[in-house]
A and B are shown apart, each in its own frame.
Chain A
Amino acid sequence: MNHRTAQQHLLDWRPCEKNSSPEQEEALRLVASDPLLAAWFEAHCQAQADIRSRLREMRVPEGLKTAILSGAPSVGKVVRPNFSGLLALAASIALLLGLGLFYFGANSDNEVKAFRSRMVGNALRNYRMDLLSKDLGEIRSYLAAAKWPADYQLPVNLEKVTGWGCARLTWQGKPVSMICFARGGRPDLFLFVADQIDVTGSAQVGSVRVEMEKKLSTATWVQGGRFYVLSVEGDESLLRRYLP
């Protein structure tokens, strides 16, 4: 084994690994007798430790845990009522019903927000179009053939904007169509369409609701069993031109 092959065998060596390969054992023996290799090995181990510690400094966003817990489908929770008197039981049921309604409402709203946030995030990041086309009819046909939401109803003014393409996204395993429009030379209007039943709480959205989401003016609405999110790079007045 020469100097270079020893280096290659030691590249993935870790002090915590119990089972070194025979080649690594041989390379380690060479380290003991070769000062140049030993110096390289020491620097290499230090660099690995530095990288490891720096990556562990990565900050976890506040609110991620809450978002996970609110975005997940409901999972079984054991509730053990511990009351003896009927009155106490009745009062507890009433309280639980009240809290349940409150919790359901808040949770549903959280899921709508999480959906909107995820979709707008898709528009802001580098995404890949599944189909590049200016033809809105072709985009619709492509999505229909892929069995993605394609029976969407475009607001009148949006129908007049040139298409750019579309992408097939998912939300909790369910299909979401992303249709991109370009008013200038690049896509700047993004419409997301999902089945209303796939986004818990979307039914309560009803008529158009406009909010800022990650620097994009964003509107949500429900129509014909579909849940729509429309985002535009611009202010609310621009967005309102393209709403139903």
Chain B
Amino acid sequence: MQSEFEQIVERHYAALFRFALSLSGSEADAGDLTQQVFWLWASKGDQLRDRSKVKSWLFTALHREFLNAQRRRVRFPHKELEEADNELPTVPSMVTEGYNAAEVLAALAKVDEPYRGALSLFYLEDYAYHEAAEILQVPVGTMKSRVSRGIAQLQNLLKEPHMGETGPRGRPI
């Protein structure tokens, strides 16, 4: 008979791994993040009274762990999204033909945080905006702005030639 912990791992580990992979862009980092978040659940999960919220608890914890690790590595420019809205580029159709999953993932990993987390949830889990906003612990309006901004960045990255030969921030080496 499976324990509750085993059932939760069984049910959510793949989705969490994909979320982690879309955030980090690295399979090894995603594996570490996924393991870490289940360790947190095993240690602190009993504090969650509403068991229907296990999934969003895990996603929130994973995103927080990712940001903590990220803050230790880089200082990313954080621009208020409402200010950034006016700077959205003109919007041509996004070109996705000819890109495989790995290339789309590589491009997504280059989207700036905090847009990347919002965009990952937007694509991967089909959470409603209010649910995704709850996971990222931001207002719904901010969540939507982040998705818009993220899509704009992603389509710029996908427009760049030779995705496989790009340097930092997607610029050709």
Contact B17 A64 (CB under 8 A): yes
**Contacts A114-B35, A118-B32 hold; do A17 and B128 have CB atoms under 8 A apart?**
yes
Contact A55 B27 (CB under 8 A): no
Contact A73 B35 (CB under 8 A): no
A123 CB to closest chain B CB (Å) equals: 11
Contact B147 A12 (CB under 8 A): yes
Number of A-B pairs, beta carbon distance below 8 Å: 147
Residues of chain A at the chain B interface (Cβ within 8 Å) = 4, 7-8, 11-12, 14, 16-19, 21, 40, 43-44, 46-48, 50-52, 54-58, 60-61, 64-65, 67-69, 71-73, 75-78, 114, 118, 121, 124-128, 130, 167-168, 172-173
B interface bracket (residues with beta carbon within 8 Å of A): 35 or more
Contact B42 A64 (CB under 8 A): no
Chain B residues, CB < 8 A from A73: 39, 42-43
**Contacts A12-B144, A54-B101, A55-B101 hold; do A60 and B17 have CB atoms under 8 A apart?**
yes
CA distance A8 to B92 in the complex (A): 11
Interface of B is mostly: helix
Residues of chain B at the chain A interface (Cβ within 8 Å) = 1, 3-6, 9-10, 13-14, 17-18, 21-22, 26-29, 31-32, 34-36, 38-43, 72-74, 85, 88, 90-97, 99-101, 104-105, 108, 122-124, 126, 128-129, 144, 147-148, 151-152, 154-155
Contact B18 A8 (CB under 8 A): no
Chain B residues, CB < 8 A from A50: 96-97
